[in-house]
Structure 1
Amino acid sequence: MAQSPRARRAPLDPRLVREVRAARRHVVRTVALGLVQAVCVIVTALVIARLGSDLLEQRDVPQGTPVLLLVLVGALAVRAGAVLVQEATAHRAATAAISDLRRRVVGHAAQLGPRAGAGRGADLTALATSGLENLRPYLVGYVPQLLLSATVTPLCLLVIGLLDPLSAVIALVTLPLVPLFMILVGKLTVGRSERLLADMRSLWAQLLDLVDGLPTLRALGREKGPERTVRRLGDRHRTSAMGSLRYAFLSSMVLELLATLCVALIAVSIGMRLVYGEMELLPALAVLVLAPEIYQPLRNVGAQYHASTDGLAAVGAAFEVLDEEAPADGDRPAPDLQDAVLALRGVSVRSRDGLAPHRAALEVRPGRVLALTGPSGAGKTTAVQVLLGLLEADEGRAEVLAPDGTAIPVRELRRRSLWDQVAYLPQRPVLPAGTIRSVLAAARPDADQDALEAAAVATGLDAVIAERGWEADLGRAGRGISLGERQRLALARAVLSPAPLVVLDEPTAHLDGAAEQVVLDLLVALREAGRTVVVIAHRSRLVELADDVAGVEAGR
């Protein structure tokens, strides 16, 4: 179950420390460096007090005690080194923690399947990119100051108590005022970080959907319509961000003023007692040097409070995804699909409008072409996802019939052993970045140049290569070539793949008549090569070519 917002309000998220190794190491290292800094602060205060009292009382210049000067310089150098190490390691730890969480979120979202991510793909993209980046100021700025307040503050307070109990009492009385004002400021900003993150993710989702749909919008002449929505979301995000900045500046000013007044109370008390001869100079100077160090970490914690809320909001959103239960993987290896039959038995899957598909029944026999037909929204793609173990059916089952007649439910199979035997081409091709040659070669690393060229000719990709060359760079998802050219490239990857089962979702959707004939010839070639093909088809020519036809319908 996802954690409630209240449960995630701990200053140092225990689950982040427990489950992210980089964050755990960062906490341990920061505590050790905090102890080093505390010792250096105490040594520095005592040495400065000794040098100052000798100078003021006995007129002994600091040059007369070189050992104390060396100790002072050494303490300052060690403290500076500890701060530098902390800053450097904090950035590396933040990068490692963000990478770890990003990998886990993306991997778990993939395990949840396409239905779990339906309608929120762009939202997950925003969380895995800019959303998790909010962890960086949290781990770099807030967590070190929080841990310093747990190391430097109590040790300095202990030393002050040994030197001057009255000053320690004043510090103990005034010290809770800092977190008290932090809480008051926090109440003013409660929920603001969650709203800011939600606004950002909503804006990202809209922008990503708009960018992906720009070719269709331009074709329909509607590219000018969504700009008002994007502008409105941008204004909302800017207003929320500026509101957070105003509260951040206000809280920093309040905490700075409060810490200054608290130190002033200690200084006034010490000054009055020095005037009346009730206190010696050496402990007075030491306490005056140590007093600001008591409040400094807590003051910095308050200044970094907004970084903590942004970071904890990102952590909470990430663990909400990770807490969703993924379908359990099976423990049986998948049979060889060259001889096995994939089947759906009365499969129904709930959708927003009812059941799509409704009681779907089909068999995918080896070495044949199966056309899956039905109206839009009937659940053809969903039926294929159930068949491949990407989605659990609400009714019915998907199974594999081994050559000996044994029926094995797909949910009992190790999905990787099944997916390694499948080449799946969705309506919008999913392609890695790289050159045309590298993208093709990734489908079968051991393929030679002749095999690459044969696949290009079989899919009509050779015309694209003749125009652009084998080394033409492609961006993410094949950016740089048209949608139809991407379809041909994805088809060539399916041809190169050694997988015995090829699943094509509307392979001619983005192709003209001539290119459609190339796909039809390709299906014939795949069948003659003994490979099994499942094609989701609307066009009649694809249906006529198929050996078997299965209809899918929606229901209520």
Structure 2
Amino acid sequence: MRPLDPRLLRQARAARSYVVLTTALGVVSAALVVVQAVAIASVLGPVVLATSPGGDGEVDGTSLARWLTVLACVVVGRAVVAWAQERFGRRAATLVVADLRRQVVAHAVALGPRPPAGTSPSDVATLATRGLGDLEPYLVRFLPQLLLTALVTPAAVLVVWGLDWVSAVVAVVTIPLVPFFMWLIGTMTAGTSERRLATVERLGSQVLDLVAGLPTLRAFGREIGPGARVRALGESSRRATMGTLRIAFLSGAVLELLTTLCVAVIAVGVGLRLVYGHIELVPAIAVLVLAPEIFLPLRRVGFEFHASTDGIAATERAFGVLGAPVPAPAVRPAPAATGGELVLDDVTVRAPGRDVDAPAHLSARVRLGTGRPGGGRVVALRGPSGAGKSTLVLLLLGLLRPDSGRILLQPPTGADDPVDLADVDAATWWDQVVWVPQRPAVGPGTVRDVVTDGRTVDPADLAAAAATTGLDAVLADLPAGWDTPVGLGGVGLSVGQRQRVALARALVGAADRPVVVLDEPTAHLDARGERCVLDTVRAWRDAGRTVVVVAHRASLLTLADQVVDVAAQEVARA
């Protein structure tokens, strides 16, 4: 386990500047520690000699005042250094965590719906929120102590060597025992922090899935049942956290005992030689003051051992996501998605975390709408749950690439050769597609802002879209109609109302886009809402567009001009 991952310095600019600043403060702290020991010895030594039996009882007041002033300045200086380390440490930790979060989220977006192997989108979400938060105590508490150990401990040993070489030899012999026991504890507890983070990620993933599926659970009266599972996951997380804390306390106790014994050995040796006159009083006091300072950074490193393991575990997970290769962006523009055909050529996708291909070896030819009134097409994707219908939607959107097979866009007869969707610039393809997912994203603002998406829309077109999707009935029940405020995620609207808002937004935004993709648009809707969806699909078809819809209900399948059956297939383990 590396206490400081070089990748952290390369990826986060704030981490580099923070390490430089902490090193500079460590140098200042080391100098102040040495000056403090000398000042204390120079103040106490003459006073003890003057007041001891056989002393003359006189103390040089000028020298004493000078050393007391130096000591006061050192105390103030160490307080300022500690304040600066805490303040800039927290600021740097906030910047580093925010920077890594931004990079993880941006890289996860570039990877698309399929995260790196061994993780899920919920794992990445938990890492970007709760997981990377473990970096703050690592940067604020552990890393400064680690750098102080590398600076203060050698400086104190060198000064002790100049004052009393015997004590320096004892320190040099006993210092390696501390990192040895730290390594031993780290070896015995290897994997504890990784398991704790994995437990937290698993808890976060399941809670996110439960929250996302809560409308469905409520619809079937099963919203209470998952509570036991959440409590079990919370208990598992509590046990993992308490196990980590026990390790931290035990490791701190072991290192505290070890360093105390090492300091005691130095102190006993100095005391015996002081009794027999083998060392002067002032150097002896300086050595006694410096001895704890030699081991203090090592002790604090041991105390913050759990912070280092948690922070390094979070860093490893973050770099695991950042290290996943992103497919090279294509630069070929997408051809027009009107006329012609969309060809699915033996398309297969391996389901994440399962030995199942979903979809498996799917081949079909889908004729596209002409873009002229009356020339539209409705294509329904049919199959059991888990067959890969939503995955096929992601493939058609260009958000995911098949593990085998191709999706080709065949221009009208006599035009250019077919184009693989994997080879076209995704942005040029998305400019021709409107997507309404099963759980549409609704941003904050008024209902008008959400539907128009900030564009200027003719009021007549807006009213027509509302009438087609049934949004006009929803607006009649809202207190301020189009100006009713909506919260993030559609707070303030029911599931059915959000679906109608999303359909109206798609209807308004699809005016110049030939392809519309709907993922189970009738889910969670009553009969009236279903009729609104059917009317909207007919409107798109009548306008000459291609509507690809994931369908379970017979009404949508009846409306379809073509039905594509999607099936999964288990893969035999090697």
- C-alpha contact (below 8 Å) 1:342/1:387 kept by paired residues: no
Partner of 2:55: none
| 2:406 maps to which of 397, 404, 415 | 397
- 2:238 pairs with 1:229: no
Partner of 1:252: 252
Partner of 1:311: 311
Q: Call closer, same or farther: CA 1:284–1:336 in 2, change over 3 Å.
A: farther
Q: State the shift of 1:535 in Å.
A: 2.5
- C-alpha contact (below 8 Å) 1:372/1:380 kept by paired residues: no
Partner of 1:99: 98
Q: State the shift of 1:56 in Å.
A: 3.2
Partner of 2:134: 134
TM-score by length of 1: 0.89
> 1:191-220, CA deviations, whole angstroms, 9 ceiling, x for partnerless residues?
221221222222222222222223323333
Which structure 2 residues correspond to residues 198-277 of structure 1 after superposition, within 5 A? 198-277=198-277
Gaps of 5+ in 2: 51-57, 570-574
Partner of 2:397: 388
CA distance in 2, matches of 1:258, 1:473: 63
Which structure 2 residues correspond to residues 476-487 of structure 1 after superposition, within 5 A? 476-487=488-499
- 2:423 pairs with 1:419: no
Which structure 2 residues correspond to residues 28-47 of structure 1 after superposition, within 5 A? 28-47=20-39
CA distance in 2, matches of 1:142, 1:437: 51
- Helix, strand or coil for the counterpart of 2:279? coil
- Helix, strand or coil for the counterpart of 2:130? helix
Partner of 2:363: 359
Gaps of 5+ in 1: 1-8
- Partner amino acid for 1:97? V
Which structure 2 residues correspond to residues 262-341 of structure 1 after superposition, within 5 A? 262-337=262-337
- Helix, strand or coil for the counterpart of 1:256? helix
Q: Call closer, same or farther: CA 1:117–1:294 in 2, change over 3 Å.
A: closer
Q: State the shift of 1:306 in Å.
A: 0.9
> 1:45-103, CA deviations, whole angstroms, 9 ceiling, x for partnerless residues?
22222222333345436665554444333333232222212111211222222222222
> 1:155-205, CA deviations, whole angstroms, 9 ceiling, x for partnerless residues?
111121122211111111111121222233334422221221222222222
Partner of 2:524: 510
- 2:22 pairs with 1:22: no
- C-alpha contact (below 8 Å) 1:51/1:62 kept by paired residues: no
CA distance in 2, matches of 1:182, 1:117: 33
- Helix, strand or coil for the counterpart of 1:359? strand
Partner of 2:378: 370
Q: Call closer, same or farther: CA 1:243–1:485 in 2, change over 3 Å.
A: same
Query: Bigger shift: 482-491 or 379-388?
Result: 379-388
Q: Call closer, same or farther: CA 1:228–1:512 in 2, change over 3 Å.
A: closer
Q: State the shift of 1:417 in Å.
A: 3.0
Partner of 1:549: 562
Partner of 1:121: 121
- Partner amino acid for 2:383? P
Q: State the shift of 1:146 in Å.
A: 0.8
CA distance in 2, matches of 1:28, 1:295: 23
Q: Call closer, same or farther: CA 1:184–1:418 in 2, change over 3 Å.
A: same
Q: Call closer, same or farther: CA 1:130–1:355 in 2, change over 3 Å.
A: closer
- C-alpha contact (below 8 Å) 1:196/1:240 kept by paired residues: yes
Q: Call closer, same or farther: CA 1:450–1:28 in 2, change over 3 Å.
A: farther
Q: Call closer, same or farther: CA 1:414–1:191 in 2, change over 3 Å.
A: same
Q: State the shift of 1:299 in Å.
A: 0.5
Q: Call closer, same or farther: CA 1:181–1:16 in 2, change over 3 Å.
A: same
- Partner amino acid for 2:311? G
CA distance in 1, matches of 2:61, 2:518: 84
Q: Call closer, same or farther: CA 1:541–1:147 in 2, change over 3 Å.
A: same
- Helix, strand or coil for the counterpart of 2:207? helix
CA distance in 2, matches of 1:307, 1:473: 44
Q: Call closer, same or farther: CA 1:360–1:341 in 2, change over 3 Å.
A: closer
What is the total number of aligned residue pairs between the two structures?
546
Q: State the shift of 1:302 in Å.
A: 0.6
Query: Bigger shift: 248-257 or 332-341?
Result: 332-341
- C-alpha contact (below 8 Å) 1:164/1:283 kept by paired residues: yes
Partner of 2:84: 85
- C-alpha contact (below 8 Å) 1:430/1:477 kept by paired residues: yes
- C-alpha contact (below 8 Å) 2:378/2:559 kept by paired residues: no
Partner of 1:51: 43
CA distance in 1, matches of 2:462, 2:285: 80
- Helix, strand or coil for the counterpart of 1:197? helix
Which structure 2 residues correspond to residues 146-185 of structure 1 after superposition, within 5 A? 146-185=146-185
> 1:247-293, CA deviations, whole angstroms, 9 ceiling, x for partnerless residues?
22222222222222222222222222222222222222222222211
CA distance in 2, matches of 1:511, 1:389: 28
Q: Call closer, same or farther: CA 1:515–1:173 in 2, change over 3 Å.
A: same
Q: Call closer, same or farther: CA 1:473–1:66 in 2, change over 3 Å.
A: farther
- Partner amino acid for 1:397? R
Query: Bigger shift: 392-401 or 92-101?
Result: 392-401
- Helix, strand or coil for the counterpart of 2:213? helix
CA distance in 2, matches of 1:296, 1:445: 63
Q: State the shift of 1:145 in Å.
A: 0.8
- Helix, strand or coil for the counterpart of 2:489? helix
